[in-house]
């Protein structure tokens, strides 16, 4: 990659050379057990990246995982090793503001490892934005919206607890859309649970479900009409990620729109899903796509295919959520809202000022870079020893 097209300014204030990249594993307990089809967590693990420029400005980024390497192949221990051993050495000395060039360097240094790359790129946008005094979204094309409807995920598996939790969220005007995690129990038990939730919250909340790849095609064919009948508005990743043809077949027979999650990591995956007609909506996540720019790439392919956009999460803290919000704020369409409730399910956050949740929306943090400030005490408190 040529580094000589434009000279890097020599004025120290403008020295945007990447001088240091530090990574720290943190584990933050959650307020309750969060149960997915094949894993459950009581603490969320992240790698926090602190990236220093020649001018002394430090940018922050985060890579989230869920249940070690069980939601996807990356785990915090591997992310830290990849950053320290391969990605950081490939970037030290490079110009931070050359985002695409940095992405190319990272792709040369490591295949995939998208969560690790996403954390570093978030820190690049934060550091450059802080240096220039502009929010990251401005470096991505500017603001289209400064808040996004945000749902809450019901995932204790106990319908009584879930109804009570949803009632509290509605009463506090925090969330009135709920994603229910299904697939850990039998389809019959899940359908009974869904009927109970839909009955209790009727007229006051919208429900979507996420099976996290738990079903086969015949199970999905049996359950989709029940979900349609009780008013569920979106079904996320009902089939294993590899079964794109199965998703396409289901889609022709489902009254409820289908959302792709684990089957879309790269923009090439997005193109395959679009060509197969396998989804109505895609869940966008930095950890899957590999950063802010790559998330925009996936969104562009989806948009070209008429596939709706949804702002997905992996239970990020306010750091990771802020990076997502800067992407979401700049997308022309984000028809399906987002799920960045992560900061609210943690027993403590990692920033000095938490993100603002109000009137069923999450607000884009105001300020240069990602608009958030790392709390060093909290980082030390949750850092893995």
Residues near Mg ion (CB under 5 A) are 210, 236, 261
CA-based nearest residue to 265, from 245, 246, 242, 248: 242
CA-based nearest residue to 47, from 76, 11, 88, 85: 76
- If one asks whether residue 344 binds ligand MUC (CB under 6 A), the answer comes out as no
Can you tell me whether residue 150 is helix, strand or coil?
strand
CB 59 within 8 A of CB 127: yes
Which residues on neighbouring strands pair with residue 84, listed in sequence order?
A: none
* Residue 231 Cα distances to 15, 61, 96, 196, angstroms: 55, 38, 48, 12
Token pair for 95: 């110009």
Token pair for 331: 């997308």
If contact means CB under 5 to 8 A according to the sort of partner, which of ligand MUC, Mg ion, none does residue 313 touch?
A: ligand MUC
- If one asks whether residue 314 binds ligand MUC (CB under 6 A), the answer comes out as yes
Give the one residue of 312, 337, 368, 371 binding ligand MUC; rule: CB under 6 A: 312
Place of tokens 């950053």: 83
**Least gap, CB of 344 to Mg ion (angstroms):** 18
Dihedrals φ, ψ of 350, to 5°? -115, 5
- If one asks whether residue 292 binds ligand MUC (CB under 6 A), the answer comes out as no
Contacts of residue 170, defined as CB under 8 A and 6 or more positions apart, other chains included, come to: 176, 201, 204, 205
Per-residue mark of binding to ligand MUC, 134-153 (x: CB under 6 A): -------------------x
> Judged by CB, which is closer to Mg ion: 68, or 367?
68
Residue 185 bears catalytic tag: no
If contact means CB under 5 to 8 A according to the sort of partner, which of ligand MUC, Mg ion, none does residue 372 touch?
A: none
**Least gap, CB of 380 to ligand MUC (angstroms):** 26
The HSE-up count of residue 315 (CA atoms within 13 Å, CB side) is 29
CB 104 within 8 A of CB 90: no
- If one asks whether residue 72 binds ligand MUC (CB under 6 A), the answer comes out as no
> Judged by CB, which is closer to ligand MUC: 121, or 261?
261
If contact means CB under 5 to 8 A according to the sort of partner, which of Mg ion, ligand MUC, none does residue 314 touch?
A: ligand MUC
Give the one residue of 210, 269, 280, 349 binding ligand MUC; rule: CB under 6 A: 210
> Judged by CB, which is closer to ligand MUC: 140, or 309?
309
**Least gap, CB of 210 to ligand MUC (angstroms):** 5
Considering only the stretches 44-52, 117-125, 166-174, 313-321, report the one whose residues sit in contact with ligand MUC under the rule CB under 6 A: 313-321
Considering only the stretches 2-10, 100-108, 117-125, 311-319, report the one whose residues sit in contact with ligand MUC under the rule CB under 6 A: 311-319
> Judged by CB, which is closer to ligand MUC: 99, or 310?
310
**Least gap, CB of 13 to ligand MUC (angstroms):** 40
> Judged by CB, which is closer to ligand MUC: 140, or 155?
155
**Least gap, CB of 52 to Mg ion (angstroms):** 34
State the CB neighbour count (10 A cutoff) for residue 274: 20
State the CB neighbour count (10 A cutoff) for residue 116: 31
- If one asks whether residue 162 binds ligand MUC (CB under 6 A), the answer comes out as no
* Residue 46 Cα distances to 43, 68, 322, angstroms: 10, 10, 14
Per-residue mark of binding to ligand MUC, 255-284 (x: CB under 6 A): ------x-----------------------
Widest CA span of the chain, in angstroms?
A: 66
- If one asks whether residue 295 binds ligand MUC (CB under 6 A), the answer comes out as no
Residue 181 bears catalytic tag: yes
**Which residue out of 35, 169, 181, 285 is catalytically annotated?**
181
Dihedrals φ, ψ of 158, to 5°? -105, 110
Interatomic CA distance for residues 329 and 316, integer angstroms: 17
Residue 294 burial by CB count (10 A; 0-12/13-18/19+): exposed, middle or buried?
A: buried
Q: Footprint of ligand MUC on this chain (CB under 6 A)?
A: 153, 155, 179, 210, 212, 261, 312-315
The residues carrying an active-site annotation are 181, 339
């Amino acid at each position: 990659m040529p580094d000589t097209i434009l000279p890097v300014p020599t004025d120290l204030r403008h020295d945007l050379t990447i001088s240091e990249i530090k990574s720290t594993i943190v584990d933050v307990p959650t307020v309750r057990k969060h149960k997915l089809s094949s894993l459950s967590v009581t603490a969320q693990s992240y790698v926090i990246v602190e990236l220093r420029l020649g001018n002394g400005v430090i940018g922050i980024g985060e890579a989230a995982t869920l249940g070690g390497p069980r939601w996807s192949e990356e785990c915090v221990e591997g992310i830290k090793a990849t950053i320290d051993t391969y990605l950081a050495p490939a970037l030290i000395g490079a110009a931070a503001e050359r985002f695409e060039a940095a992405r190319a360097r990272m792709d040369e240094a490591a295949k995939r490892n998208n969560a690790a790359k996403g954390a570093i790129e978030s820190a690049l946008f934060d550091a450059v934005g802080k240096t220039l005094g502009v929010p990251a979204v401005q470096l991505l094309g500017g603001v289209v919206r400064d808040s996004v409807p945000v749902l809450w995920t019901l995932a204790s598996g106990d319908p009584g607890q879930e109804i009570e939790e949803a009632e509290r969220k509605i009463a506090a005007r925090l969330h009135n859309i709920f994603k229910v995690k299904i697939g850990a129990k039998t389809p019959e038990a899940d359908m009974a649970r869904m009927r109970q939730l839909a009955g209790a919250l009727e007229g006051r909340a919208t429900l979507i479900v996420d099976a996290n790849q738990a079903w086969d095609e015949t199970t999905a064919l049996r359950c989709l009409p029940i979900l349609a009948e009780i008013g569920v508005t979106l079904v996320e990743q009902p089939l294993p990620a590899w079964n794109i043809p199965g998703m396409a077949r289901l889609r022709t027979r489902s009254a409820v729109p289908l959302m792709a999650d684990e089957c879309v990591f790269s923009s090439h995956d997005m193109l395959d899903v679009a060509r197969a007609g396998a989804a109505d909506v895609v869940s966008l996540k930095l950890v899957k796509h590999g950063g802010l720019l790559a998330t925009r790439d996936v969104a562009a392919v989806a948009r070209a295919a008429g596939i709706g956009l949804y702002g997905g999460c992996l239970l990020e803290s306010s750091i990771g959520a802020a990076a997502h919000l800067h992407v979401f704020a700049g997308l022309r369409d984000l028809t399906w809202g987002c799920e960045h409730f992560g900061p609210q399910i943690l027993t403590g956050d990692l920033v000095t000022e938490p993100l603002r949740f109000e009137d069923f929306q999450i607000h884009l943090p105001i300020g240069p870079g990602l608009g958030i400030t790392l709390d060093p005490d909290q980082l030390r408190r949750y850092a893995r020893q």
